[in-house]
């Protein structure tokens, strides 16, 4: 019998992934200060393509220079990024894997205060366990329109560069997470207040991307929940997923929310975020990705066999040695 990790998966838009293994987006800090890919970026993704995963995601890429969170962050904010992004996508395709570009705006999570204009849904500092973040200014409706246009323009660039999908980063306390969360979005207009309003900016972005780039599959990296009291709950996110999939999302990549992607203190063992993903699996037409400290073939097969997730993301265990990981999953 074929091991489940090697079975293909066809998404609801018809895109087929050759197996169930995913390299999740991981910032490589190899871009230049203008957000352009460098030879080091291309070599990094060639390296990751040797992992055996059928889908290799390309790291969080800012949609606007004002939305950067690191100086050497990859960008998708300008047409000048196109040659580099095209080279990255082509390197991965040549190696026989599908690829997607993750796009982001850091909003109030500008950890290095690179931006002179830090903004968010409300003038509320994003809570963080490991640092003190700047207090953003509250965005105007014009700012909201600019963000939406920037996300859509970045998705069009991902399409032109040849990526198979685009992933909107809505997790880890970054910009869109700040819109979804009641901790950071306390607006009184149609973009704040009840959950439907807090999700509006995101659902509108997904809808527009589907209109202008119908070839692209759309993935959202979502929090299963926020890691702070009073934040997004599992029930909130189950509802948001229904809206996302109705708007056209094909993959739900389930991670953590405000508080960041690190292992929660009370979680031990492999798959520390899989229990956040499992309740969403099979509830929509979207494929669900689980992640968090996964490294063994036994664990990967177990969560696929028990249908806790459709796809398994392995980050640091692949980063440590892509070819070694490929050998391990082939031989087991």
Ligand X SMILES: Cc1cc2nc3c(=O)[nH]c(=O)nc-3n(C[C@H](O)[C@H](O)[C@H](O)COP(=O)(O)O)c2cc1C
Q: Where does this chain bind ligand X (CB under 6 A)? A: 24-27, 59-60, 102, 169, 172, 221, 255, 261, 291-294, 314-317
In which residue are the tokens 């859509």 written? 152
DSSP-derived letter for residue 24 is P
CB of 259 to ligand X, least distance (A): 13
Instruction: Compute the chain's Rg from CA coordinates.
Output: 18
- At how many degrees (to 10) do helices 234-247 and 200-212 cross? 20
Whose structure tokens read 């991981």?
A: 26
Report the residue number, 157 or 172, with the smaller CB distance to ligand X: 172
- Comparing CB distances to ligand X, the nearer of 136 and 315 is 315
- Nearest to ligand X of 29, 323 (CB atom): 29
Residue 193's SS3 state is coil
| 3-state DSSP assignment of residue 57 | strand
CA distance 138 to 9: 42
Q: Minimum distance from CB of 26 to ligand X (Å)?
A: 4
Look at the chain and count its residues: 332
Contact 164, 100 (CB under 8 A): yes
Cα–Cα distance, 88 to 12 (Å, whole number): 25
Nearer to ligand X, 11 or 171 (CB): 171
Compare residues 58 and 286 and give the one whose CB is closer to ligand X. Answer: 58
Shortest-Cβ-distance residue relative to ligand X: 315
CA-wise closest residue to 126 among 115, 138, 135, 139: 135
Contacts of 22 (CB under 8 A, 6+ apart): 53, 54, 55, 56, 57, 253, 289, 311, 312, 313, 314
CB 291 within 8 A of CB 299: no
Matching residue, tokens 């999953």: 329
The nearer residue to ligand X, 98 or 191, going by C-beta atoms, is 98
Distance of closest approach, residue 142 Cβ to ligand X, in angstroms: 28
**Cβ 255 to ligand X, closest distance in Å?**
5
- Kindly state the smallest distance separating residue 123's Cβ from ligand X, in Å: 26
* Least CB distance to ligand X at residue 129 (A): 16
Q: Which of 192/315 has CB closer to ligand X?
A: 315
Q: How many angstroms separate the CA atoms of 210 and 172, rounded?
A: 24
Nearer to ligand X, 51 or 91 (CB): 51
Exposure string of 150-166, with b = 16+ CB inside 10 Å and e = fewer, is bbbbbbbbbbebbbbbb
Minimum Å distance from CB 215 to ligand X? 23
Q: Supply the minimum distance, in Å, between the C-beta of residue 189 and ligand X.
A: 28
């Amino acid at each position: 019998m074929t091991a489940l990790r090697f079975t293909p998966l066809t998404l609801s838009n018809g895109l087929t992934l050759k197996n169930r293994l995913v390299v999740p987006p991981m910032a490589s800090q190899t871009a230049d200060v203008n957000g352009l890919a460098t030879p080091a970026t291309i070599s990094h993704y060639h390296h990751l393509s040797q992992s055996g995963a059928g889908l290799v995601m390309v790291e969080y890429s800012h949609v606007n220079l004002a939305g950067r969170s690191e100086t050497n962050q990859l960008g998708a904010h300008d047409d000048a990024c196109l040659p580099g992004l095209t080279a990255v996508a082509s390197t991965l395709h040549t190696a026989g894997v599908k690829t997607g570009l993750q796009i982001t705006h850091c909003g109030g999570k500008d950890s290095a205060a690179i931006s002179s204009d830090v903004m968010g849904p409300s003038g509320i500092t994003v809570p963080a366990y490991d640092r003190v973040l700047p207090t953003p200014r509250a965005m105007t409706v014009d700012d909201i329109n600019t963000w939406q246009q920037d996300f859509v323009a970045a998705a069009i660039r991902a399409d032109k560069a040849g990526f198979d999908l685009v992933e909107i980063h809505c997790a880890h306390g970054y910009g869109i997470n700040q819109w979804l969360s009641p901790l950071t979005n306390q607006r009184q207009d149609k973009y704040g207040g009840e959950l439907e309003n807090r999700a509006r900016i995101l659902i509108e972005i997904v809808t527009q991307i589907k209109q202008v780039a119908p070839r692209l599959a759309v993935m959202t990296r979502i929090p299963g929940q926020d890691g702070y009291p009073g934040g997004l709950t599992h029930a909130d996110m189950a509802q948001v997923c229904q809206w996302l999939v109705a708007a056209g999302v094909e993959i739900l990549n389930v991670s953590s929310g405000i508080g960041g992607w690190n292992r929660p203190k009370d979680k031990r063992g492999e798959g520390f975020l899989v229990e956040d993903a499992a309740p969403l699996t099979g509830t929509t037409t979207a494929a669900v990705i689980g992640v968090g400290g996964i490294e063994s073939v036994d664990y990967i097969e177990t969560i696929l066999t028990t249908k806790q997730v459709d796809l398994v993301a392995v980050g640091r265990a692949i980063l440590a040695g892509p070819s070694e990981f490929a050998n391990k999953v082939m031989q087991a």
